[in-house]
Amino acid sequence: MSDPDPQLTASSTEQLQALIRNACVNDGTPSSGEEIRNAHLVDDVLHDLPREHYEPVPGRRSVLATLEGSDPDAPTVLFCGHTDVVPVNAGEWREDPFGGELLDGEVWGRGAVDMLCLTSGMLTAMRQLADRREPPRATIKFLAVADEEAGGTWGARWITDHAWDDVACDYVITESGGIPLHTPAGSHLLISTAEKGIAWRRLTIHGTPSHGSMPFGADNAIITAAEVVRRLHAYEPAAQLSDHWRAWVGALPVDDTQRARLLDPVYVSEAVAELPPRLAAYCQALSHVTFSPNVVHGGNKTNIVPDTVELDLDIRVLPGVSGDDVEAMLVDALGDLADRVEFSQTIEPRPATASPTDTPMFDLLRRRAEAVHPGAAVLPWMVVGGTDAAFFRRRGVPSYGAGMFSPDISLEDFQSRFHGHDERIDTTSIGLTAQLYLDIADAIAE
């Protein structure tokens, strides 16, 4: 691997540090995030490019900068980089999570991996392109977007619903990709091409109010809810072995017998459970619809037997699974308790999405990956969480999660730092990622 251009690396590192220090922490409440601070930074860096601003809620500002290409027939690429980060538990960190310190070749801070190192690469690539005498042939847009970490309500969802013409494009490049995976089965580079959908439900469980001093035989909604939770936890929906699953299993460090079991619908659940815990959790999510009971509200006074409990489930669906399918699974899981439970949606559903891999952009990503990581095969990857790619894919725009991490970063590092303590990224990865975006801008119209 050749080292990235030192100047490009230095610029992107500096931008990353500034993005981290702005601490745009999104805790899910509409008044958090304050991405306006990072929006100001983007405005300063790209002051001479035409820009649009979107601020559906005060402080939740996103910026779109456009560099018009010289060839009207060339494709338009949108780099979509979120500017918010998730909260931290600062006491558990070795360094200040919002210090953005550069220590031993690594930038420390919340967002270093998710995804400010990509956003800084996009910003730096835009600046470099704008400084050239000639624009690229392709039109390049950069959306520095708010609120990704809480589902895009005030960011990508809002912008794609209300200002589609501004962000319309032929390809989107965003987060979750460019991660090396080295196993005895070979070297791979993960580029995300798909993600699971979101089908959250609130379960309302009814009982009958009565006096807490006489609990015998009472119809207590909390006791029913406990059984509902137990059944959900024990429920095993059928595995769904997609092409993404097959490709992923092909890259796993397992022996042939284990591999065969992972590819067999009869044995897959059992085989997944035997994997190391973190890998098992990802593999289970990649091959199943998942149900996680994560919020519970119920009861209001110690001496009253409660008549209502509300239980919020985080449900993630695979491609092809509809809302009706989800409710059928819930009924199946709850058995004879199903008619004591009401189901309602807590957010607009988001079906699973996927982009084709037979596009000039995916070919380009493959070529770049192979140039930086010789011998590594690109693995189209399914994200089991949610990213802003979903809002563009549902409009038919091929969208890929791609950065370019150095061989020193393992998938394990990536996953443990993603929303974890001591999040940090090496400067080689920062430079390689900025270089990837420059290369995309230059090569997509060739």
Considering the complex, what minimum distance in angstroms separates the CB of residue 185 from Zn ion? 28
> Judged by CB, which is closer to Zn ion: 20, or 221?
20
Considering the complex, what minimum distance in angstroms separates the CB of residue 113 from Zn ion? 9
Considering the complex, what minimum distance in angstroms separates the CB of residue 114 from Zn ion? 4
> Judged by CB, which is closer to Zn ion: 12, or 139?
12
Amino acid letter for position 164:
W
| Cα 313 from Cα 96, distance rounded (Å) | 34
> Judged by CB, which is closer to Zn ion: 177, or 298?
177
Q: Give the angle subtended at the CA of 435 by the CAs of 430 and 438, to the nearest 5°.
A: 135
Write the CB contacts of 26 (distance below 8 Å, at least 6 apart in sequence).
32, 33, 35, 84, 85, 86, 87, 146, 147, 148, 149, 150
Considering the complex, what minimum distance in angstroms separates the CB of residue 94 from Zn ion? 22
Return residues touching Zn ion (CB under 5 A).
114-115, 175
> Judged by CB, which is closer to Zn ion: 115, or 143?
115
> Judged by CB, which is closer to Zn ion: 195, or 439?
195
> Judged by CB, which is closer to Zn ion: 287, or 433?
433
Considering the complex, what minimum distance in angstroms separates the CB of residue 37 from Zn ion? 17
Considering the complex, what minimum distance in angstroms separates the CB of residue 422 from Zn ion? 17
Considering the complex, what minimum distance in angstroms separates the CB of residue 5 from Zn ion? 25
Q: How do 186-195 and 106-108 pair as beta strands?
A: unpaired
> Judged by CB, which is closer to Zn ion: 69, or 152?
152
> Judged by CB, which is closer to Zn ion: 291, or 437?
437
> Judged by CB, which is closer to Zn ion: 34, or 147?
147
Considering the complex, what minimum distance in angstroms separates the CB of residue 35 from Zn ion? 13
Considering the complex, what minimum distance in angstroms separates the CB of residue 418 from Zn ion? 8
